[in-house]
Amino acid sequence: MTFRLDVIWRELPQFVHGLGNTVWLCAVSMALSLGLGVLFVVPLMSRRPYVRQAARAVVDAGRCVPFLLLTYLVYYALPSLGLSLDKWTAALITLVAYNTAYMAEILRAAWAHLPPGQTEAARAFGYTGTALFRRIILPQVLIAVGPVVGNQLIQLIKDSAFLSIITVPELTYAANSVQSFYFVPFESFLVATLLYWALCGGVEYLVRRGERLAAVVRRGHGH
């Protein structure tokens, strides 16, 4: 067997295009679900047990559904309820809905493990409710959560490969269309996998850089 690098080289723009779509889909979804997760973490940490339990049930159920099944639900089942979506919107909704369940849980865990001192001090200074959450709790949670969000982003990037099944032209879809056109399956999927590897490596690198920055912020230079 010969390794058909020439084909891969010729079709490189397709791979790059697919990689670009994977990157922006995952980046936008991660940003959106981080925001939604912040909204969702409030009922998860509510002092009223029934609110907390209801939120808990929703998050747990969300984390049980495989990504592909959720994609099918959004892309094929929502139209039967009268909500037809094109594949891009369906892809984004699936990524965000799926990821938000995980993000809410990640944020909750970080909040629950926050040292109580700062919150108590803030309460003593008269901070309550939204101000307490926005000014004191949330910034600490967001700093603490960095590396876990990085891992979750890698998970999201890998799950996004399922979107090729509803023909979203992301990286795996590009690899599949190149392989079926030229019949170079091994080369094509190997290159795609290497690109995922590089992408995940890049995320890990950024997380490590971010961690160093967070360490500086935590030390609180000058105070």
Which of the ranges 5-13, 28-36, 189-197, 210-218 carries the binding residues for other proteins, by CB under 8 A?
A: 189-197
Query: Smaller CB distance to other proteins: residue 140 or 193?
Result: 193
CA dist 76 and 17 (Å) reads: 26
Q: Does the protein bind other proteins through residue 72 (CB under 8 A)?
A: yes
DSSP three-state, residue 84:
coil
* 201 scored as a contact of other proteins (CB under 8 A): yes
How far apart are CB 87 and other proteins at their closest, in Å? 15
Neighbours of 43 (CB within 10 A): 18
CB 144 within 8 A of CB 106: no
158 neighbors 203 (Cβ within 8 angstroms): no
86 binds other proteins (CB under 8 A): no
Determine which residue in the list 30, 157, 178, 207 makes contact with other proteins, applying CB under 8 A: 157
Residue 68 interacting with other proteins (CB under 8 A) = yes
Quick one: which segment of 33-41, 130-138, 140-148, 184-192 binds other proteins (CB under 8 A)?
184-192
Which residue among 5, 39, 57, 69 contacts other proteins (CB under 8 A)? Answer: 69
Please choose, out of 42-50, 77-85, 122-130, 212-220, the segment that lies near other proteins by the rule CB under 8 A.
Answer: 77-85
Q: Which of 34, 107, 192, 207 contacts other proteins by CB under 8 A?
A: 192
> How far apart (Å, rounded) are the C-alpha atoms in residues 80 and 68?
18
Q: In whole angstroms, how far apart are CA 48 and each of 42, 44, 67, 133, 134?
A: 11, 10, 31, 17, 20
Q: Which long-range contacts (CB under 8 A, 24 or more apart) does 114-117 make?
A: 114/140, 114/141, 114/144
Among 5, 77, 213, 217, binds other proteins (CB under 8 A): 77
Q: With CB under 8 A as the contact rule, which of the stretches 25-33, 104-112, 180-188, 210-218 interacts with other proteins?
A: 180-188
Q: What secondary structure, in 3-state letters, does 149-200 show?
A: HHHHHHHHHHHHHHHHHHCCCCHHHHHHHHHHHHCCHHHHHHHHHHHHHHHH
Q: Is 85 one of the binding residues for other proteins (CB under 8 A)?
A: no
Per CB under 8 A, residues contacting other proteins are 1, 61, 64-69, 72-73, 76-77, 79-81, 154, 157-162, 164-165, 171-172, 175-176, 179, 184-186, 189-190, 192-193, 196-197, 199-201
